[in-house]
Chains A and B, each alone.
Chain A
Amino acid sequence: MGLKSNLHNLKEKYKGTKMAPAFNAIHTFLYLPNETTHNGTHIKAADDLKRTMNIVIMAMIPCLIFGMFNAGYQHYSAIDALAGVAREVSLFGNFLTWDNFVIGAWKVLPLVIVSYGVGLLVEFIFAVIKGHEVEEGYLVTGMLVPLIVPIDIPLWMLSVAVIFGVVIGKEVFGGTGMNILNPALTIRAFLFFAYPTWMSGDKVWVHGADPRVQDLAAGATPDALSGETILGSLAQNNTGMLDSAGDVWNAFFGFIPGSVGETSTLLIILGGLFLVFSKVGSWRIMLSSVLGAIVMGLIFNGIADSGFISETSKFYGLMSTDFWMHLLIGGFAFGTVYMATDPVTASQTNKGKIVYGFLIGILSIMIRVFNPAYPEGVMLAILLMNVFAPTIDHYVVQGNVKRRMKRLKVKTA
């Protein structure tokens, strides 16, 4: 009882002061508040925004942990490759090892801490200035951000991007629930356009491969370490990375270079199923987005097969990639499950969600194939559809309005 009543007394003390939102944020983190209903329904369902957001975070934790191991694995794998030793992945043999985890945690945890620390600081400052409660949106954004950046991104860069993303992406619109663009993707897009060399190429995806990073593992010659993503090599018409069935399985399980948490399609699918089961994530968006990607992949496959473009064309490598492989490589799965489904920035009507998801799928693969500088499209596809989501909703809602108008006309005619 001690803590509970002490906190209650403090809450009464801070009531009405500028610091109230900041205190309440911490208080409500520990205790579900003692607020009761006043008008309207006298009872309320169990779910609140904290619970909802918490479910999304839980769905991402496996990706985060996997990302830590994978960071270490890719690092040692690249060093082996430099020495001419080809590595066969073995889950308990050389993947889930202490060495891998230490490297991964050493690199990934700071990303998580900086992302949450800076982001929540901005949220608290805005809450205190504007006098509203600290909203839960950033709990998810703060977890998404470390999962969608390259492992060796400098922390100051991440801080700048987080501040930009939270302020411009969200707070200027009025906070969680009011934003137009997904804040996590706004952060990533900022990094992508402001510091492109840190966000693309064949050096940034594996820890230690980037010559600009100082703390290199002993024995590695920076220039020679390579960490090309599968997408990157496909974009250069080099299909060698997906030749064998084993390569494809590796891509599915996630033993490949990439952003921290995006690589394991398997864990992302499990997370997605959890979100759908808990009714927090929209199955409509996830399913239609995958369908959209398949359709676009099939179209490109058809173009490549029919010989419209030559094998030397710079688009040939990605166009001829089997449509289903597009689902396994790059950030498509991660974006579809965790980012396209953000309820604030997605379409808000059920029909609209299907259109919205489908177009994200189409655009993701299209941008991925045609983007010469950076062979990935899901980020830009989602941001673009974020902008168009209200338009889609408008037409869905107009359908309802027209039905009502028609009813009236039939009556009066």
Chain B
Amino acid sequence: MSNDIKIKKGLDIKLEGAAEKVTENAIKSNTCTVRPEDFHSVIPKLSVKVGEKVKAGQALFFDKTNINVKFASPVSGEVTEIARGEKRKILSITVQADKEQSFEDFGALNIDSAKAEDIKARLLASGCWAFVKQRPYDVIANPEVAPKAIFVSAYASAPLAADLDYTLAGKEAELQAAVSALAKLTAGKVHVGVGKNGNSPLAGLSNVTVHNVSGPHPSGNVGTLINKIDPVNKGESVWTVAAQDLVIIGELLLTGKFNAERTVALAGSSVKKPRYFKTKIGSEIATMVYDNGVDKDGNDRIISGNVLSGKQVKPDGALDYYSNVVSVIPEGDDYEFFGWNKPVFNKVSTSRALTFSWLTPKKKFALNTNTNGEHRNFVTTGTYEEVFPLDIFPMQILKSCMYQDLDEMEALGMYEVAPEDFALTEFVCVSKQPHQDIIRKGLDLMLKEIG
């Protein structure tokens, strides 16, 4: 069974430097760094010490509030550093990788006969639970609460996103294993969104409901999928898993090994030869960016993730736990003479206020990180609605988060949203308000007050 989901409101931001469909093996990273901050709202409790040997798949730390949720080391090796910040907050755990990787063996699982409890226990023990997120609150799923449905978006519509049809091709067996296992964890369905005109390896899976998605970004966001199919109501929860993480889950269930390998796109206008790399979660970014085209002393920003909601990382930083794209774009820390009133041809805009990107809908832009203006109060109206396909009033919900009215936040639909759903409204915001940050803080407040 397949259904069509067509999005009209949205914006495709076309950027230079999309990854060419060539995959290379990245240089093996000597170290692997896992940062607890990738797992929002998790309070990490270490299960290893510096100097200890770990296998790939062995837990590095677990969640203090939910001790069953473990976070695994992507590689085998020796724990060399545990960096701490203020109040001894754990910033990162670094593992020096072995030359020969050894895996913790969790044992293969017969998915057809396995019970839901077994599957859940296996995912929790192996660290794969980190890939299962929930809404409300956009945090790692609470294993105690059964979701009403599980959502996977296998359509990447974000600017410079890795093409999932390409990176996941040939992984059908793992994907099938993963979704069949997930299907047992919910009384509802597993909904998978695939590109309507694509050739997704997920389109032919069984045990799932496939939806053909088309239209501009954010059509590929899982939040859009949820809102159009089965929005989250108060007291309900749904789970989401990123399509690339299904592969890791699937491989674990089929072979018993936690293999953190992932195909990552290196993209962006600062990259000379943008293409795909096979690498591992937590690998040093430098293993990919320098060898193939970013100037060493260039004034660029490296982002683990896409340009709309990724994290800024230093060249010696690491690929974060969820990303399958590394974007590199020029920094925009320069002044522009009369930049606010002269006609603009080289930047994207949804308006026609002497901005001319509407004349060249096919043109690819090389945008930098300049904010193109200063932070202001909310002034203009109607601009967000043009790029926001969810059945929610974006400006009103943002304001309710800012004045922290829990009742209003709930009524306006906070249970349904994640920060990334507000990436486009943030992009077009004339007042340069930090929408994703506002939503994240709002969700955190609700999580704390309501739970």
What is the interface of chain A, defined by CB distance below 8 A to chain B? 4, 7-8, 24, 28-52, 54-55, 133, 135-137, 174-178, 277-280, 282, 343-344, 346, 348-350, 353, 393, 397, 400-401, 403-405, 407-408, 411
CB neighbours of B310 from chain A (8 A): 42
CA A29 – CA B309 in complex, angstroms? Answer: 30
Interface string of B309-351 (1 = CB under 8 A from A): 1101000000000000001010111111111110010011111
* B31-39, B174-182, B237-245, B388-396: which lies at the interface: B388-396
CB neighbours of B380 from chain A (8 A): 49, 52, 280, 343
The 10 A-B residue pairs whose C-beta atoms are closest, nearest first, are A48-B373, A32-B339, A177-B377, A46-B347, A31-B335, A50-B340, A32-B336, A40-B436, A46-B349, A348-B381
Interface string of B215-251 (1 = CB under 8 A from A): 0000000000000000101111000000000000000
Assess whether B412 is in contact with A48, with CB atoms less than 8 Å apart. no
Assess whether A411 is in contact with B423, with CB atoms less than 8 Å apart. no
Q: Which of A37, A40, A47 contacts B353 (CB 8 A)?
A: A47
User: Which single residue of chain B is at the shortest CB-CB distance from A275?
Assistant: B353
CB neighbours of A349 from chain B (8 A): 381, 393, 396
CB interface residues, B 142-189, toward A, < 8 Å: 159
Assess whether B432 is in contact with A44, with CB atoms less than 8 Å apart. yes
CA A401 – CA B419 in complex, angstroms? Answer: 20
CA A44 – CA B428 in complex, angstroms? Answer: 6
CB neighbours of B371 from chain A (8 A): 33, 35-37, 44, 48
Q: Does B437 contact A (CB under 8 A)?
A: yes
Q: Does B374 contact A (CB under 8 A)?
A: yes
Q: Does B442 contact A (CB under 8 A)?
A: no
Assess whether B377 is in contact with A176, with CB atoms less than 8 Å apart. yes
CA A54 – CA B368 in complex, angstroms? Answer: 23
Q: Does B411 contact A (CB under 8 A)?
A: yes
CB neighbours of A35 from chain B (8 A): 333, 370-371, 374
CA A265 – CA B437 in complex, angstroms? Answer: 45
User: Which single residue of chain B is at the shortest CB-CB distance from A56?
Assistant: B353
CB neighbours of A277 from chain B (8 A): 352
CA A344 – CA B395 in complex, angstroms? Answer: 12
CA A41 – CA B348 in complex, angstroms? Answer: 14
Contact size range, B: 35 or more
Taking chain B's interface residues, is the majority helix, strand, or loop, or is none over half, making it mixed?
loop
Assess whether A41 is in contact with B353, with CB atoms less than 8 Å apart. no
Assess whether B337 is in contact with A31, with CB atoms less than 8 Å apart. yes
CB neighbours of A48 from chain B (8 A): 340, 371-374, 376, 430, 432
> Which of A29, A49, A177 is packed against the most chain B CB atoms within 10 Å?
A49
CA A156 – CA B213 in complex, angstroms? Answer: 63
Assess whether B373 is in contact with A32, with CB atoms less than 8 Å apart. yes
CA A39 – CA B439 in complex, angstroms? Answer: 12
29 of the cross-chain contacts (CB-CB < 8 Å) are A29-B340, A33-B374, A34-B332, A34-B334, A36-B333, A36-B370, A37-B371, A40-B419, A40-B437, A41-B309, A42-B312, A43-B308, A43-B427, A44-B429, A45-B429, A47-B350, A54-B341, A55-B353, A133-B374, A176-B377, A177-B378, A277-B352, A278-B353, A349-B393, A400-B393, A400-B412, A404-B231, A407-B231, A407-B233
Assess whether B376 is in contact with A135, with CB atoms less than 8 Å apart. yes
Assess whether B354 is in contact with A278, with CB atoms less than 8 Å apart. yes
User: Which single residue of chain A is at the shortest CB-CB distance from B331?
Assistant: A36
**Least CB distance, B2 to chain A, in whole angstroms:** 24
What is the interface of chain B, defined by CB distance below 8 A to chain A? 13, 15, 159, 231, 233-236, 301, 303, 307-310, 312, 327, 329, 331-341, 344, 347-355, 357, 367-383, 385, 391-393, 395-396, 411-413, 419, 423, 426-432, 434-437
Assess whether B379 is in contact with A33, with CB atoms less than 8 Å apart. no
CB neighbours of B373 from chain A (8 A): 32-33, 44, 47-51
Assess whether B335 is in contact with A43, with CB atoms less than 8 Å apart. no
CB neighbours of B423 from chain A (8 A): 40-41
CA A56 – CA B336 in complex, angstroms? Answer: 22
Knowing A135-B376, A278-B352, A401-B411, the reply to whether A50 touches B370 (Cβ < 8 A) is no
CA A400 – CA B393 in complex, angstroms? Answer: 8
CA A348 – CA B371 in complex, angstroms? Answer: 24
**Least CB distance, A343 to chain B, in whole angstroms:** 5
CB neighbours of A353 from chain B (8 A): 381-382
**Least CB distance, A129 to chain B, in whole angstroms:** 17
Assess whether B376 is in contact with A177, with CB atoms less than 8 Å apart. yes
Q: Which of A30, A133, A282, A397 contacts B337 (CB 8 A)?
A: A30
Assess whether A46 is in contact with B381, with CB atoms less than 8 Å apart. no
**Least CB distance, A3 to chain B, in whole angstroms:** 9
Assess whether B307 is in contact with A43, with CB atoms less than 8 Å apart. yes
Q: Which of B233, B382, B430, B435 contacts A40 (CB 8 A)?
A: B435
Assess whether A33 is in contact with B335, with CB atoms less than 8 Å apart. yes
CA A54 – CA B432 in complex, angstroms? Answer: 17
Knowing A44-B432, A45-B348, A45-B372, the reply to whether A51 touches B340 (Cβ < 8 A) is yes
Assess whether A51 is in contact with B379, with CB atoms less than 8 Å apart. no
User: Which single residue of chain B is at the shortest CB-CB distance from A137?
Assistant: B379
**Least CB distance, B250 to chain A, in whole angstroms:** 32
Knowing A48-B374, A133-B374, A397-B396, the reply to whether A43 touches B13 (Cβ < 8 A) is yes
CA A280 – CA B336 in complex, angstroms? Answer: 23
Assess whether B335 is in contact with A34, with CB atoms less than 8 Å apart. yes
User: Which single residue of chain A is at the shortest CB-CB distance from B386?
Assistant: A279
Assess whether A54 is in contact with B340, with CB atoms less than 8 Å apart. yes
CB neighbours of B332 from chain A (8 A): 34, 36
Assess whether B354 is in contact with A397, with CB atoms less than 8 Å apart. no
CA A39 – CA B411 in complex, angstroms? Answer: 27
Q: Which of B352, B374, B376, B426 contacts A41 (CB 8 A)?
A: B426
Q: Which of A36, A137, A400 contacts B392 (CB 8 A)?
A: A400
Q: Which of A46, A177, A279, A343 contacts B348 (CB 8 A)?
A: A46
Assess whether A39 is in contact with B391, with CB atoms less than 8 Å apart. no
Assess whether B349 is in contact with A404, with CB atoms less than 8 Å apart. no
CA A29 – CA B338 in complex, angstroms? Answer: 7
Knowing A133-B374, A177-B377, A411-B236, the reply to whether A30 touches B353 (Cβ < 8 A) is no
Assess whether B353 is in contact with A279, with CB atoms less than 8 Å apart. yes
CB neighbours of A348 from chain B (8 A): 381-382, 395-396
**Least CB distance, A274 to chain B, in whole angstroms:** 9
CB neighbours of B370 from chain A (8 A): 32, 34-37, 44
Assess whether A42 is in contact with B308, with CB atoms less than 8 Å apart. yes
